[in-house]
Amino acid sequence: MLLEIKNLHARVETKEILKGLDLTVKAGEVHAIMGPNGAGKSTLSHVIAGREGYAVTDGEVLFNGKNLLELEPEARACEGIFLGFQYPVEIPGVSNITLLKAALNARRKYRGEKEIEPGDFLAWVRDRAKLVKIDPKMLSRGVNEGFSGGEKKRNEILQMLILQPTLMILDETDSGLDIDALRIVADGINTMRAPERATILVTHYQRLLDYVQPDFVHVLAGGRIVKSGGPELAKELEDKGYGWLEAA
Amino acid sequence: MAANPQDITELVRSRNVYSAGFITDIESDKVPPGLSEDVIRLISAKKEEPQWLLDFRLKAYRRWLKMTEPKWAHVEFAPIDYQSISYYSQPKSMKDGPKSLADVDPKLLETYSKLGIPLREQEMLAGVQNVAVDVVFDSVSVATTFKSKLREAGVIFCPLSEAVASHPELVQKYLGSVVPFGDNFYAALNSAVFTEGSFVFIPKGVRCPMELSTYFRINERNTGQFERTLIICEEGASVSYLEGCTAPQRDENQLHAAVVELVALDDAVIKYSTVQNWYPGDEEGRGGIYNFVTKRGDCRGPRSKISWTQVETGSAITWKYPSCILRGDDSVGEFYSVALTNHRQQADTGTKMIHVGKNTKSTIISKGIAAGHGQQSYRGLVRVLESATGARNYTQCDSLLIGSHCGAHTFPYTEVRNPSARLEHEATTSKIAEDQLYYCRARGIGEEEAVGMIVNGFCKDVFKELPMEFAVEAQKLLAVSLEGAVG
């Protein structure tokens, strides 16, 4: 079992957002989490990644059997969790390449491995950048500095391709993308599909799921998973909206 | 090393100028605390100075007595007792005067090697670093390297006291010509009691073949350090000079009041970089250096250029405004600064750009970082005189706050007397955003490393002005200085 979430309750400031959420993700699976605005989708992403200010009041989150909630955000990342941000952050003056190298070496250090050789690193980054059609010149620019919305999202996928996580959580990575960019992002995600990895796609739309076939679709509403099914559930949601589920 | 071969104690005794009390103390190689005309005469005698220099000192001292400490800076400290400071200190093993590096006390060499200074010429000849180093240990210059290679190029790079003996006409012509002896309280004090420093002279048309570098270090307890640096670039000459400073940990506060004078004649270029890492005091604000420094460059000739780059991470209190007087037409002044205050450090720093000549240009990029309970002020003056038709200035001051107990302040002053002048000013204050930190951590990067990375990104515009190896050093220094700033 890669990820096990049991009866998760979490609050942001004084507001309880997650109210007894259960989710189990096995290696090799792709899960889509859909749901109306304010249902707690992003909160779930941040609770798994370990953002400060998101207080877990009950329940547990196990990753490879380890209690994830005890770990600092950086340790969770080094354990193999990757969160693709809905709103990637700009860090002026810090080049993409600097961030990538620091991130990759942090992970290697965590595992007791040596730092990557600069030559190997550059070759690896250039190779991966091609997959998401990012010009190597962009890599020496500041992290997301002056990037368009689409470039920021592709940059998230690039980071994921380079860091090779085992659990990828993509928080509305598809929102605001035109169809070409959506394809590139989907290709990046599919490249990472492997028996030892799993993906959680947090999305509003069926659109992305046309390109990345999920094994399971869950509806998150009112802080809990209210319905789970196969890919056909996403199509149903596209037709009917969420109203019929929330009413239930 | 001109003053060393002779036994100074004997010298002074034979002249019989001073009281017995002094003579006893001279044997300890440190002048007893206190300042008077006698002390100044003693320092001058120890250094075997000519009469004109003694006169310069005494004039400055008499002026200083009538002056008061400036009170306008945004810093707070207990009054300094100038009579409790010793104004001259010489490491004991220097008494007989080392003739070469081999004679230098290994402990001194060890100190410098800890600081990463490539002191031994053979290391440098091996191509480790193409940098000539003049090292100042307390008041006496220990070793000057690469002098001969520089001499071939016609460059003079030596301790100021040596230059007084070997090139008195140059020193007399330029000393005090940029920072007059009565310029301000601390400059007057320095003019009265300065003991060491570097002298650089680049003759007409010569590009100095290597970076010049001086490391200053305050070691002796209860001593002030009053070094004085004088750099002259003749017509068409250029030089890049780096000053690095460190001081060991002491519980008391120590005073450092230096003066740096730069003179650039027609088409000359002087680049002066500082990496300052004096002891900043502990987390509670005990100890640390008071760094009250006057640095000024005079773009005396047309098309000359003076560029100051400073990275200030140390000192308990910093009071420092490296300035440019843009006298020559089309001359250029630049000021790039990173100042970091952590714990209880206070810094009031900035620059003055005085536009005198036509079409003079100045650029000011200041990056202030405050963490812990640090207080950080940028204070800058851009003055455009009537004569400065077509003058331009661009000023950018950015402040970065880490945590919620620190402060950043900006005091820009402008005085424009010529309507054709164009001035631009941009200022920002930001906090290290929680989302930036989280973003880095979500990629596996630890909090301290992430802060270091974000701060380095913030300072990039200044670091790129530093010579390569020093830019790396500056980044490391910043990381060390920020330790414990988060969490």
Q: Smallest Cα–Cα separation from B265: which of B173, B209, B327? A: B327
Q: Classify residue B19 as exposed, middle or buried by CB count within 10 Å of its CB (0-12, 13-18, 19+).
A: exposed
A62 touching chain B per CB within 8 A? no
Cβ contact (<8 Å) for A106 and B443? yes
Residue B128 has pLDDT above 70, yes or no: no
Residues whose CB falls within 8 Å of the CB of residue B263, separated by 6 or more in sequence, listed in order? B174, B177, B178, B230, B231, B232, B233, B297, B298, B300
Residues whose CB falls within 8 Å of the CB of residue B54, separated by 6 or more in sequence, listed in order? B40, B41, B44
Q: How confident is the model at residue B20 (pLDDT cuts 50, 70, 90)?
A: very low
The mean pLDDT of A201-225, rounded to a whole number, is 92
- Within a domain: B337: yes
- Which residues of B fall within a CB distance of 8 Å from A78? 444
Q: What does the DSSP assignment read for A83-134?
A: EE-SSPPPEEEEEHHHHHHHHHHHHHHHTTPPPPPHHHHHHHHHHHHHHTT-
Domain extent, residue A102, equals 3-186+194-247
Return the residue of B nearest to A108 by Cα: B444
* Substitution target from B432, B434, B445 for chain A, most A beta carbons within 10 A: B445
Return the residue of B nearest to A145 by Cα: B457
Cβ contact (<8 Å) for A94 and B457? yes
Measure CB to CB from residue B446 to each of A49, A94, A106 and give the nearest one.
A106
Residue B369: its pLDDT value, please? 85
Note whether ipTM > 0.90 here: yes
Which helix H or strand E contains A43, and what residues bound it?
helix A41-49
Which helix H or strand E contains B455, and what residues bound it?
helix B447-458
- Quick one: how many helices (H) and strands (E) in chain A? 9, 12
Residue B87: its pLDDT value, please? 79
Which has more pLDDT, B483 or B76? B76
Cβ contact (<8 Å) for B458 and A93? yes
- Which residues of A fall within a CB distance of 8 Å from B433? 89
Q: Chain A, 193-222: which have a CB under 8 Å from a chain B CB?
A: none
Rounded (5°) CA angle B366-B368-B372: 175
Residue A61 has pLDDT above 50, yes or no: yes
A91 touching chain B per CB within 8 A? yes
Q: Do the Cβ atoms of B260 and B226 come closer than 8 Å? A: no
- Predicted confidence (pLDDT) per residue in A151-177, tens digit: 999 999 999 999 999 999 999 998 888
> Token match 């989708």: residue?
A41
Which SS3 state, helix, strand or coil, does residue B248 take? coil
As beta bridge partners, residue A167 has A81, A198
Cβ contact (<8 Å) for A89 and B435? yes
The mean pLDDT of B52-63, rounded to a whole number, is 94
Cβ contact (<8 Å) for B441 and A74? yes
A163 touching chain B per CB within 8 A? yes
The mean pLDDT of B452-462, rounded to a whole number, is 85
Q: How confident is the model at residue B64 (pLDDT cuts 50, 70, 90)?
A: very high
Lowest mean pLDDT among A98-112, A125-139, B417-431, B459-473: B459-473
Residue B16: its pLDDT value, please? 32
Phi, psi at B23, each rounded to 5°: -60, -40
- Predicted confidence (pLDDT) per residue in B291-322, tens digit: 888 999 999 999 999 999 988 877 778 888 89
The mean pLDDT of B459-465, rounded to a whole number, is 83
B424 touching chain A per CB within 8 A? no
CB neighbourhood size of A133 (10 A): 14
- Within a domain: B487: no
Return the residue of A nearest to B439 by Cα: A89
A113 touching chain B per CB within 8 A? no
Distance from CA of B479 to the nearest CA of A (A): 14
Q: Smallest Cα–Cα separation from A7: which of A66, A46, A62, A76? A: A62
A73 touching chain B per CB within 8 A? yes
Residue B362 has pLDDT above 50, yes or no: yes
Residue B146: its pLDDT value, please? 65
The CATH number linked to A34 is: 3.40.50.300
Distance from CA of A155 to the nearest CA of B (A): 13
Q: How confident is the model at residue B24 (pLDDT cuts 50, 70, 90)?
A: very low
> Token match 């096995």: residue?
A26
> Token match 């004090």: residue?
B189
Q: Chain B, 361-380: which have a CB under 8 Å from a chain A CB?
A: none
Cβ contact (<8 Å) for B441 and A77? yes
A71 touching chain B per CB within 8 A? no
Distance from CA of B115 to the nearest CA of A (A): 26
- Which residues of A fall within a CB distance of 8 Å from B435? 89
* Substitution target from A12, A91, A164 for chain B, most B beta carbons within 10 A: A91
The mean pLDDT of A85-100, rounded to a whole number, is 92
Q: Do the Cβ atoms of B467 and B211 come closer than 8 Å? A: yes
Residue B423: its pLDDT value, please? 92
Cβ contact (<8 Å) for B435 and A74? no
A89 touching chain B per CB within 8 A? yes
Phi, psi at A227, each rounded to 5°: -155, 140
Give, to the nearest 10 degrees, the angle between helix B185-193 and helix B37-46: 50
Q: Where are the beta strands (DSSP E) in B257-304?
A: 259-264, 269-277, 288-299
Residues whose CB falls within 8 Å of the CB of residue B169, separated by 6 or more in sequence, listed in order? none
B459 touching chain A per CB within 8 A? yes
Distance from CA of B434 to the nearest CA of A (A): 9
The segment with the largest mean pLDDT, out of A203-217, B108-122, B421-435, is: A203-217
Cβ contact (<8 Å) for B445 and A106? yes
B454 touching chain A per CB within 8 A? yes
Q: Do the Cβ atoms of B163 and B170 come closer than 8 Å? A: yes
Residue B98 has pLDDT above 50, yes or no: no
Structural domain total, chain A: 1
| Separation between Cα atoms, residue A204 and residue A42, nearest integer Å | 11
Cβ contact (<8 Å) for A91 and B438? no
Cβ contact (<8 Å) for B460 and A93? yes
B458 touching chain A per CB within 8 A? yes
- Which residues of A fall within a CB distance of 8 Å from B400? none
Residue B401 has pLDDT above 70, yes or no: yes
Structural domain total, chain B: 1
Return the residue of B nearest to A79 by Cα: B444
B444 touching chain A per CB within 8 A? yes
Domain extent, residue B200, equals 5-482
- Per the rule left: phi > 0, alpha: psi between -120 and 50, beta: everything else, A38 is left
Residue type, A63: F
Q: Smallest Cα–Cα separation from B407: which of B320, B346, B485? A: B346
